[in-house]
Amino acid sequence: MPNISLTLNYIKYFANVNSRHSLSKFLGMERLMNTVHVNRNYQRKNFSSKVKTLDMAGVFPPITTPFKSNEEISFNDLKDNLEKWKPFPFRGFVIQGSTGEVAYLSEEERVEVVRFARQYITKDKILMAGSGCESTKSTIDMTKKMAEAGADAVLVITPAYFRGRMSENALITHYTKVADESPVPVVLYNATPNTALDLPPEVVIKMASHPNVIGVKDSVGDIAKLSLLVHKTSEQDFQVLAGSAGFLLPALTMGCVGGVLALADALGGPTCELFELYCNGNMTKAKKLQHRLIAPNYAVTKIYGIAGVKKAMDLLGYYGGPTRSPLLPLTNEEEEKLKLYFKDNGFL
């Protein structure tokens, strides 16, 4: 088993920052988890905006793109997966995010997958489509195409190819232009493990005041930063989403409204259950379930990546299938190790 003590520490403690509730000193996560409660009917503030905003409270699986053995998209398997996910109380689906291997799809494929999936996602579920590109112009064009294809909101990753010049001003200018032109609400996306660029809190806080920017997904797992974002945007119509199941519970406790969780592709039931346990104030069961999810989540995110997510889906009755080159499938040895992460925690 890898060293996952850092993630475990997130379950026990959070850093010394002002939280949404104006906490100004260290408080044990144990104490906070036993006292905090949440309003199940999360209500967003009303304000005048360009578009109607969305309540994003809940779990979003960032779904994989299924490929055939020849690496062409398998739309039949995409349909089957969406049908199998229907029983779970997901808030919606993220399509063409990092887990969807978006970097390896053509522009036409990205739009086609969203258009196809929209047919099988009911209107009560949010379809959030990844529309980020390296240039502002391309991102605006892709955002409009995703909206036309049926997206309810877009997830816009930070441009990072010229990361050395991506100053706060450059990022604010980029996101402002995209949000000004987008026909649907915009969610900022901080994916430092993939971009090697950490979206500064100052940029997020500034963009929270834009009427067409409704939230941020942060995949880093820095609970102090998530807490700061919640606190500093609490007067705005803005929502913070955790970007991984490994720290979902502490993120919820700090005021995040939900999460975009790759593990939910394979473990939709347990991830939704964790959210519901928190919302119902059952912190004892929630903590136990969170602990069980940490190792499988670590396996499919930090160790084996998208190939691990897809293999976990195969093991649990979905179609994962192959990755697209140059990503390689798991070796037989890696597959056996992956199984143990799930078996040891009662999921296989």
Choosing from 145, 217, 225, 232, which is the catalytic residue? 217
Q: Could you tell me which residues are beta bridge partners of residue 130?
A: 155
40 Rama sector, left if φ>0, alpha if ψ -120 to 50, beta otherwise: alpha
Q: At what angle do helices 136-149 and 168-181 cross, to 10 degrees?
A: 30
pLDDT classification of 6: cutoffs 50, 70, 90: very low
Contact 255, 240 (CB under 8 A): yes
Average confidence (pLDDT) over 222-229: 96
Confirm whether 12 is a catalytic residue. no
What pTM did the predictor assign?
0.86
**Residue 13 forms beta bridges with which residues?**
28
Domains, the chain: 29-34+43-292 (3.20.20.70)
pLDDT tens column, 9-57: 444 433 333 333 333 222 233 322 332 333 333 333 333 334 447 999 9
Whether pLDDT at 90 is above 90: yes
Q: Exposed, middle or buried: residue 104 (CB in 10 Å: 0-12, 13-18, 19+)?
A: middle
Q: What is the pLDDT of residue 106?
A: 98
Q: What is the pLDDT of residues 310-341, one digit of tens each?
A: 999 999 999 999 999 999 999 999 999 999 99
